[in-house]
């Protein structure tokens, strides 16, 4: 019962450049809960 907490606790990545939400890392990508994948591993910050 800590799904939300788990998501919130997973602030491993940088904040979303668009909405400032905490991105969570999925495989090799940073995913924003609202924008989807915003950063790709092979495409660092751009
Ligand atoms: Zn976002």
pLDDT band at 41 (very low <50, low <70, confident <90, very high): confident
31 C-alpha to ligand 1 centroid (Å): 8
Residues in the chain: 46
**What's the rounded Cα separation, in Å, for the pair 42 and 4?**
28
DSSP label at 16?
Answer: P
2 C-alpha to ligand 1 centroid (Å): 22
36 C-alpha to ligand 1 centroid (Å): 7
Please determine, for residue 28, whether its predicted confidence score (pLDDT) is greater than 60. Answer: yes
**Can you give the pLDDT at residue 3?**
57
pLDDT band at 9 (very low <50, low <70, confident <90, very high): low
pLDDT band at 39 (very low <50, low <70, confident <90, very high): confident
38 C-alpha to ligand 1 centroid (Å): 7
35 C-alpha to ligand 1 centroid (Å): 5
Please determine, for residue 6, whether its predicted confidence score (pLDDT) is greater than 90. Answer: no
């Amino acid at each position: 019962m800590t799904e939300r907490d788990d998501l919130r606790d997973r602030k491993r990545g940088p904040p979303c450049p668009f909405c400032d939400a905490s991105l969570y890392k999925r495989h090799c990508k940073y995913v924003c809960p609202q924008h989807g994948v915003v950063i790709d591993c092979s495409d660092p910050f751009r």
